[in-house]
Amino acid sequence: MTKRITLLGSTGSIGTQSLDVIRAQGYEVFGLSANRNADLLLRQIAEFHPKVVAVTDPAAAARVKSELDGMASPPRLLEGPQGLTELAAMPGAEILLNAVVGIAGLASSLAAVESGKDLALANKESLVTGGALVTEAVRRKGVHLLPVDSEHSAIFQCLQDPHSAKKLTKILLTASGGPFFGKTAEELKNVTAADALHHPNWSMGSKITIDSASLMNKGLELIEAVWLFGLPAEKVQIIVQRQSIIHSMVQFADHSILAQLGVPDMRIPIQYALTWPDRVEGPAPELDFATLGTLTFDLPDEETFCCLAAAKRAIALGGLVPTAVNGANEKAVELFLKGKIGFLDIGRFAQMAVDRFADATGSFTLEDVFACDAQARRMVEESV
């Protein structure tokens, strides 16, 4: 059955892999979005013929506009962050895949759900910052929230039997450990962005690659798991699985455990989110047990990688505290990538955000989320 999809963040790592899946399945593309990469978006327009595109960066939008003017039947162009949200809300697609990076994806996740679309979510920051708002809207609108993040897809796949799912008692969230696994704080003092961008198992966008090196990614994923699967954070245990073959596991009341395995290839979880509840052939290779060798298991070092500890404290406090940690982290990662702060400063700012915003608990609106995000970013800027 053909599906009509709007794909936000189509020029990114998840975006381009999603288009591999869409191409292989022959799905129809209603909308695409980019921030800066006008050239790639133009090539995607030529191949997938979307009806609407959204470009957030003004210079890139101007460039796309000038190219579309000469085209025979060009897509409609929407501009700026409002254009992204408008595209997310437009009828014409039944499913929206959100592969934007950062809190910039939150408003469009909400707009997609409010317009009655199923939401295939790679943008974990939507749940970290607006988990209460997104999950409430999903319930109210009766739509499906389909995880794309590999660990959460694994958990979701292990919970397809509704009888067992009711008896879920623990989630074993696996982590690769990133490029700095086993290193001491002393050894991490002078690591550079180039060192941190060298992930052992996955090729991803720069922000999530730094998050994987600092273990903030696992902290964000812990919060994401709490919102997706409804277990308290204490029931989500993080296990380092260096080979990234076991993508996560679930434990039931009888202490039986189910795991989902496969090669580290994001096209598997992307495809599952788009074909669910069905499974079909896809472009990812099969796992070869003959050459696999050993699978190892370790615990993370939360003292050195204190981003993870900060995320745990944030979700325990609740309210806007996870938003503050996320905002501080987004700013810190941006500064680290520019060589303006050290690697260990990222964790220091995450901890500072929890301390500074520890009273911001309780219920909140979308406006409160954006205000808190701005404050947390300012806190980092003013401390550099």
Which one of the spans 109-117, 198-206, 318-326, 348-356 is the region binding ligand NDP (CB under 6 A)?
198-206
Give 228-289 as a DSSP string: HH---GGGEEEEE-TT--EEEEEEETTS-EEEEE--S-THHHHHHHHHTT-----SSPPP-H
Which one of the spans 95-103, 136-144, 331-339, 368-376 is the region binding ligand NDP (CB under 6 A)?
95-103
- The verdict on 29 binding ligand NDP (CB under 6 A) reads no
Give the list of residues 6+ apart from residue 311 with CB closer than 8 angstroms, or none: 216, 218, 219, 220, 222, 223, 322, 325, 350
Q: 278, 188 in Cβ contact below 8 A?
A: no
Among 61, 64, 78, 101, binds ligand NDP (CB under 6 A): 101
The residue type found at 355 is D
- The verdict on 224 binding ligand NDP (CB under 6 A) reads no
Minimum separation from the CB atom of position 21 to ligand NDP (A)? 13
> Given the complex with Mg ion, which of 248 and 304 has the nearer CB atom?
248
Among 6, 35, 214, 248, binds ligand NDP (CB under 6 A): 35
Minimum separation from the CB atom of position 306 to ligand NDP (A)? 20
Q: 377, 328 in Cβ contact below 8 A?
A: yes
Rounded (5°) CA angle 246-213-369: 95
Phi-psi region of 29 (alpha: psi -120 to 50; beta: other; left: phi over 0): beta
Separation between Cα atoms, residue 59 and residue 77, nearest integer Å: 14
Give the residue at shortest CB distance from ligand NDP. 12
> Given the complex with Mg ion, which of 129 and 150 has the nearer CB atom?
150
> Given the complex with ligand NDP, which of 118 and 151 has the nearer CB atom?
151
Distances (CA, A) of 271 to 17, 134, 205, 234, 265: 10, 22, 19, 30, 11
> Given the complex with ligand NDP, which of 111 and 252 has the nearer CB atom?
111
Please identify which residue in the block is written with the tokens 């979308």. Answer: 366
Minimum separation from the CB atom of position 251 to ligand NDP (A)? 23
Per-position x/- string for 124-153, each x denoting binding to ligand NDP as judged by CB under 6 A, each - no binding = xx-----------------------x----
3-class DSSP state of 147: strand
Minimum separation from the CB atom of position 240 to Mg ion (A)? 13
Q: How many binding residues for ligand NDP (CB under 6 A)?
A: 28
Rounded (5°) CA angle 219-178-335: 70
> Given the complex with ligand NDP, which of 252 and 308 has the nearer CB atom?
308
Residues of this chain that bind ligand NDP (CB under 6 A): 9-15, 34-37, 56, 84, 99-101, 104, 122-125, 149, 202, 204-205, 207-208, 266
